[in-house]
Structure 1
């Protein structure tokens, strides 16, 4: 496995999650016979390490493979190749039956807090369902646990008798977080959990996630395409482009001194709250950046430094 990551100085424990050359390719069909004519390399050889109790932010433009990576980790997508080591155990390619017990350790909070909830089931029933299936608590205590989970995320216990459409977007996302917490997971993949919310509500949800992490010792993979939320919540940031991790490092260091040209373009696109810098000079997409953005146009020279390879940074 590549050793291009910067391990945090505070990380003294063994890694909780290690991705080793993880790949997820989707076949492209075409022609009269509908044969496979190529592949979309959504995730293309990703190496990543997440330590217990930290938040790793994963940023990149839409379509770069962030969500696919998260779905592979929790078993919603089967990787094409590579390893997913969770607490030292390779969980890549596990069957649905084998993944049942892992569901208690790996959870996901989806981007859309409405479509991820069943519209015809009450909030209480949806939070209680995994408790019944995995027998986290005795059956007679399930409703009491549902009340506790709702109160943990800042909602009254009386909310359990209501339906998802009766809540605001921020409240629905809190319900999604409560459902993820129901199984007492170690790692939660947050797949753009605040991108569909108003700015003021985003701050509330981010603060809730930080409080829960401190209280419960959670580990997050926080996926986003905006740097504002990632800057606030992450200990480290990984930048993804065209299915690859192009740069990774400590949040403050990476934002202060980015190395990869694609990271610099992302940072330059971030709004600056200073009207005096409104007409600041913008970083243009150079040929080097375009090569990393568009994998269909690789470098012509075989021995030329490839900007999509993090080991060259």
Structure 2
């Protein structure tokens, strides 16, 4: 059986932000937003990345598309190392590697009409003739379910869901291989969230897209993902197939996240829901050993001293005492 190589490889990625003090801005420490993460994403799949706010999910996405500069580690896209590529070297790659932002309004230029926003990628990359640009814009609007007559409007004239459709249209301009979806539905109403998730699923089938879907809501991640990675304080603590992870979570943090997810059938709701205690430690000074041990209901002495590696193959878990 031939296994295709990963479309994207993240190898021991670290993205740190310096903490500076004093008149001369001396570096006195680092905020470890992403700390030693490895992850492979294969063509055609959707990997969901879930965790509490501030755990480093969005930083991973922004590092992949090189909106943030990694501190250490490697990012390989289609077997090409882009970790330290210059903006000039990244320009041809940006047609294959795109991002959808969380806030659709702040990601659109308020001074430009939608027609100009969607035409800009084609003009900037010069991959189509100028007389073909308008046809491309019309096709993008059709694909995301917006009337062509809307293209002469400004971003403030649209609802949040419509603006996110415009952001998606811009991301699929060149039919990229991989799209980082950085919490694309968290700022939308629940009914609109379902529409956007269905749109992303339809576009994935039509264009053979691959997604890294970042969210803090486990429901959206479950709906769209094929694999799920659970993140806590800069680390991936569990990763596996969606169905297996929901049925048999191995990490206490994953168990707590799933317990907080409201079951549609009241009879299926667990009476033994675990309530997580305490606050997330500072990423500038993470705890020794397992990073979750300060809030874990099953903590033992080894957890306080030794950091667990992510082991387990297809269903990996970073825990000394995984749940059976």
TM-score (norm 2): 0.87
Change (3 A) 1:192 1:303: closer
Q: How does 1:36-75 map to 2 (within 5 A)?
A: 36-75=27-66
Whole-angstrom CA distance in 2 between matches of 1:206 and 1:241: 24
Whole-angstrom CA distance in 2 between matches of 1:293 and 1:120: 37
Whole-angstrom CA distance in 1 between matches of 2:113 and 2:282: 46
Whole-angstrom CA distance in 2 between matches of 1:73 and 1:82: 12
1:101 aligns with 2:92: yes
Change (3 A) 1:270 1:296: same
Kindly indicate whether the alpha-carbon contact (under 8 Å) linking 1:212 and 1:218 is maintained by their aligned counterparts in 2: yes
Q: How does 1:185-200 map to 2 (within 5 A)?
A: 185-200=176-191
1:214 aligns with 2:205: yes
Q: What is the match of residue 239 of structure 2? A: 248
Q: What is the match of residue 296 of structure 1? A: 286
1:179 aligns with 2:170: yes
Whole-angstrom CA distance in 1 between matches of 2:29 and 2:160: 39
Greater mean alpha carbon deviation, residues 22-31 or residues 119-128: 22-31
Whole-angstrom CA distance in 2 between matches of 1:208 and 1:31: 50
Kindly indicate whether the alpha-carbon contact (under 8 Å) linking 2:231 and 2:237 is maintained by their aligned counterparts in 1: yes
Whole-angstrom CA distance in 1 between matches of 2:25 and 2:280: 31
Secondary structure of the structure 2 residue equivalent to 1:306 = coil
For the aligned residue pairs, the C-alpha RMSD in angstroms reads 2.5
Equivalent of 2:256 in 261, 265, 268: 265
Deviation at 1:98, TM superposition (A): 1.0
1:306 aligns with 2:307: yes
Secondary structure of the structure 1 residue equivalent to 2:85 = coil
Deviation at 1:151, TM superposition (A): 0.5
1:133 aligns with 2:134: no
Kindly indicate whether the alpha-carbon contact (under 8 Å) linking 2:34 and 2:56 is maintained by their aligned counterparts in 1: yes
Q: Structure 2: which 5+ residue stretches go unaligned?
A: 290-300, 312-317, 320-324
> C-alpha offsets along residues 62-108 of structure 1, whole Å, 9 cap, x if unaligned?
00000010001001011001000111111001111111111111100
Q: What is the match of residue 167 of structure 1? A: 158
Whole-angstrom CA distance in 2 between matches of 1:201 and 1:286: 32
Greater mean alpha carbon deviation, residues 27-36 or residues 40-49: 27-36
Secondary structure of the structure 1 residue equivalent to 2:92 = helix
Deviation at 1:282, TM superposition (A): 2.5
TM-score (norm 1): 0.90
Secondary structure of the structure 1 residue equivalent to 2:6 = coil
Whole-angstrom CA distance in 2 between matches of 1:259 and 1:290: 20
1:25 aligns with 2:16: yes
Whole-angstrom CA distance in 1 between matches of 2:85 and 2:25: 29
Equivalent of 2:75 in 84, 92, 100: 84
Change (3 A) 1:216 1:284: same
Q: What is the match of residue 3 of structure 1? A: none
Whole-angstrom CA distance in 2 between matches of 1:150 and 1:290: 42
Secondary structure of the structure 2 residue equivalent to 1:232 = helix
Secondary structure of the structure 2 residue equivalent to 1:170 = helix
Greater mean alpha carbon deviation, residues 298-307 or residues 51-60: 298-307
Query: Would you say how many aligned residue pairs link Structure 1 and Structure 2?
Result: 302
Kindly indicate whether the alpha-carbon contact (under 8 Å) linking 1:291 and 1:298 is maintained by their aligned counterparts in 2: no
Change (3 A) 1:279 1:247: closer
Whole-angstrom CA distance in 2 between matches of 1:278 and 1:55: 27
